[in-house]
Structure 1
Amino acid sequence: MKHTLLFVAAFLCAAFSAFGQVQAVDSLGLTVRLAKSASRIVSLSPASTEVLFAVGATVVGDTTYCVYPPEALAVEKVGGFSADSMSIEKILSLKPDLVVSNGKIHKPATDELARYGIPTFAYDPSGFDGIAAGIVAIGTLAGRKEAAVLVASIMKEKIAKVEKTIAVIPASQRLSVFWEVYNDPLMTCGSATFQHAIVEAGGGKDIFSDLAGSWPMVSAEEVIRRAPQAIMGADDHGEALTLDAIVKRPGWSLVPAVRSGKIFLIPTGIVSNPGPRVADGVLAVAKALYPRLFP
């Protein structure tokens, strides 16, 4: 709890309001300043939509990929996920005072919005501290700072509770995990991603923790060589990440995870979107790996 309070106190020094103005630093390191709290916000990604609803912000537009919470389904749609799918005309028609993007992915769209004087905030965090900071930053800009601080604090406390439970397992006895992002080409999560953080906080030892970046491609031979004791991934990965499918991959029947049947699909919403529900992702990973600790 102490480290959470220290984090909140430090972050509130960076995101504050004065003379009616609000400001916060986004994931690209840019300071976003608004004349007043945003009351008509358009979200361009599922993660930012989840955060906005969690803190109680007013969302007037989001995308077809924004399905959580259920209330997001009723919001006006402005596009899909990529920048070129966004309808600038539709966004402008909603008269937003802030657009929350997914960072560099949406840069062509946000650059165009900037020409119309629409302020944008990039939300693309990595790691739990980055997610918590982003939640508070978005809440600050939306005039929901107190709610955002609470959401971020609860998220971190839930994660800490899981970590405390699995602390009884010595590091040498924790299961090694291969997190499969995609099967063709074979991809995993790099050490800079929140998926890596979810695996580690859930008590797993990421077999590719030595790889930097976001989504490195790896060879099947290297996965086999590193011999993970469990294989995990999001449940939207499809039929490619099942025991029946994996055992048919050349050489994979030798992998300990395949021999023991430890292939786990985790609900995508809690491991693919960097929002407050990543705490649920940590718990899901821990329950899969160490069910006896979570009866």
Structure 2
Amino acid sequence: MRPAVALLLAASLALSACGAHVEDTAGPATTTVPRCGEQVAYRPPHRAVAYEGGSADKLFALGLTDRVRGYVMPPANPPVTESPWAAEYARVDMLSDDLLNRELVVDAGADLVVAGWRSGFSDERGITPALLDRLGIQSFMHAETCWNYPGFPRRTTPLEGLYEDMTRLGAIFGVPDRAAAVVAGMKRRVAAVEASAPTGGTPPPVFLYDSGTDRPATAANQVPPNDIIRIAGGRNILSDVDGRWTDVGWETVVQRRPEVIMVLDYGDRSAQQKIAFLRSHPALRSVPAVQRNRFFVLDYNEGISGPRNIDGLERFAAYMTDVPR
């Protein structure tokens, strides 16, 4: 076999292993992977733009810093200096502290935008994968956000979506072996948590408090905290709600009697301010988590799709070992 043919065959086999294939075209090779439920052919990116920490962390964890043009980080997000990849953030440009928009990615000369559906991309903001396709700018969507993507929905559990994202990004950027190693490390850590999680009895109900005073914003079953709570041995009190981030009435929280309240740490109010509010809320006086002072703080970037989900899982699992079943 000629060396050139052998090299192409080896590359093709490596990509096939992660659900992608390379097409021989007149221009640069393209790699086809799913974007939600749609098969999309990607050219190798060199000027990627990431929206929020989860997107940037995925790229940095794969060693792709040199191919990241920059990131967009709304002000409610924790400082990037607190990230395990702080040194990588320092090597690329912060393009905006606002929401994602079309003008920004065009001005940046982006050749790939990494974000989620309704978590960066949205019709209301005027930046969607379909619009970027027409502009010749590629887009990648987090699998976790695909459950209601118009025209091409696809459902996956949030952590399985994280594994898929890392694998697909590895295929798109031509680093499938690196991605496989990263995913294998994540899976080993999750398996270790599963092996040590409490069994028997009834899983303690857990309420995630995001924000809100009149009605609390919280996590339904299509976001990473639902998996974090479940794998660590608890039960999200909104696991029966088919959705991502949602809101409920305080009466629902009271009726479902959470034993633990997980507080998402981001925004204008600190986690301790949120906890103080919950402790003082008259309607919550009968809630076991409030009576027993069981509050767990989850970092924002541990709660949105990204490599730090595993950090949050390990920390919450350690906390749950002291919660009776």
TM-score interval w.r.t. the shorter chain?
A: 0.7 to 0.9
Question: For residue 139 of structure 2, what is the aligned residue in structure 1?
Answer: 120
Q: Counterparts in 2 of 1:1-295, with a 5 A limit?
A: 12=17, 14-19=19-24, 20-26=29-35, 28-35=36-43, 37-57=44-64, 58-65=67-74, 67=80, 68=83, 69-70=85-86, 71-84=88-101, 87-92=104-109, 96-104=110-118, 105-107=120-122, 108-110=126-128, 111-125=130-144, 126-166=157-197, 168-170=198-200, 172-184=201-213, 185-236=215-266, 238=270, 239-242=272-275, 244-271=276-303, 273-291=304-322
- The residue type paired with residue 232 of structure 1 is M
SS at 2:241 equivalent: coil
TM-score, normalised with respect to structure 1: 0.84
- For residues 205 and 129 of structure 1, the distance between their equivalents in structure 2, rounded to whole angstroms, comes to 18
Deviation at 1:135, TM superposition (A): 0.9
Q: CA distance change for structure 1 residues 10 and 286 in 2, over 3 Å: closer, same or farther?
A: farther
Contact 2:257 2:288 in 1 (8 A): yes
SS at 2:96 equivalent: coil
Deviation at 1:161, TM superposition (A): 0.7
Contact 2:114 2:139 in 1 (8 A): yes
- For residues 230 and 127 of structure 2, the distance between their equivalents in structure 1, rounded to whole angstroms, comes to 35
Contact 1:80 1:86 in 2 (8 A): no
How far does the alpha carbon of each residue in 1:95-149 deviate from its partner, in whole angstroms, 9 at most, with x for none? x432223234424234554333122222252511111001110111111111111
- The residue type paired with residue 169 of structure 1 is T
- For residues 263 and 102 of structure 2, the distance between their equivalents in structure 1, rounded to whole angstroms, comes to 27
Contact 1:62 1:76 in 2 (8 A): yes
Structure 1 residues 273-282 or 132-141, which shifts more?
Answer: 273-282
Q: CA distance change for structure 1 residues 86 and 204 in 2, over 3 Å: closer, same or farther?
A: farther
- For residues 99 and 142 of structure 1, the distance between their equivalents in structure 2, rounded to whole angstroms, comes to 13
Percent pairwise identity: 25
SS at 1:216 equivalent: strand
The number of equivalent residue pairs is: 276
How far does the alpha carbon of each residue in 1:238-295 deviate from its partner, in whole angstroms, 9 at most, with x for none? 24431x3222101312111111111111222222x31122111111111112149xxx
Deviation at 1:74, TM superposition (A): 3.5
Q: CA distance change for structure 1 residues 49 and 201 in 2, over 3 Å: closer, same or farther?
A: same
Contact 1:191 1:214 in 2 (8 A): yes
- For residues 162 and 122 of structure 1, the distance between their equivalents in structure 2, rounded to whole angstroms, comes to 28
- For residues 284 and 85 of structure 1, the distance between their equivalents in structure 2, rounded to whole angstroms, comes to 37
Q: CA distance change for structure 1 residues 206 and 113 in 2, over 3 Å: closer, same or farther?
A: closer
- The residue type paired with residue 302 of structure 2 is I
- For residues 90 and 209 of structure 1, the distance between their equivalents in structure 2, rounded to whole angstroms, comes to 41
- For residues 182 and 22 of structure 2, the distance between their equivalents in structure 1, rounded to whole angstroms, comes to 19
- For residues 283 and 173 of structure 2, the distance between their equivalents in structure 1, rounded to whole angstroms, comes to 52
TM-score, normalised with respect to structure 2: 0.76
- The residue type paired with residue 116 of structure 2 is N
Structure (1/2) with the larger helix percentage: 1
- The residue type paired with residue 47 of structure 1 is G
- For residues 234 and 179 of structure 1, the distance between their equivalents in structure 2, rounded to whole angstroms, comes to 7
Question: For residue 154 of structure 2, what is the aligned residue in structure 1?
Answer: none
Contact 1:241 1:265 in 2 (8 A): no
Deviation at 1:39, TM superposition (A): 2.8
- For residues 218 and 158 of structure 1, the distance between their equivalents in structure 2, rounded to whole angstroms, comes to 33
- For residues 16 and 221 of structure 2, the distance between their equivalents in structure 1, rounded to whole angstroms, comes to 24
Stretches of structure 1 that go unaligned for 5 or more consecutive residues are 1-8
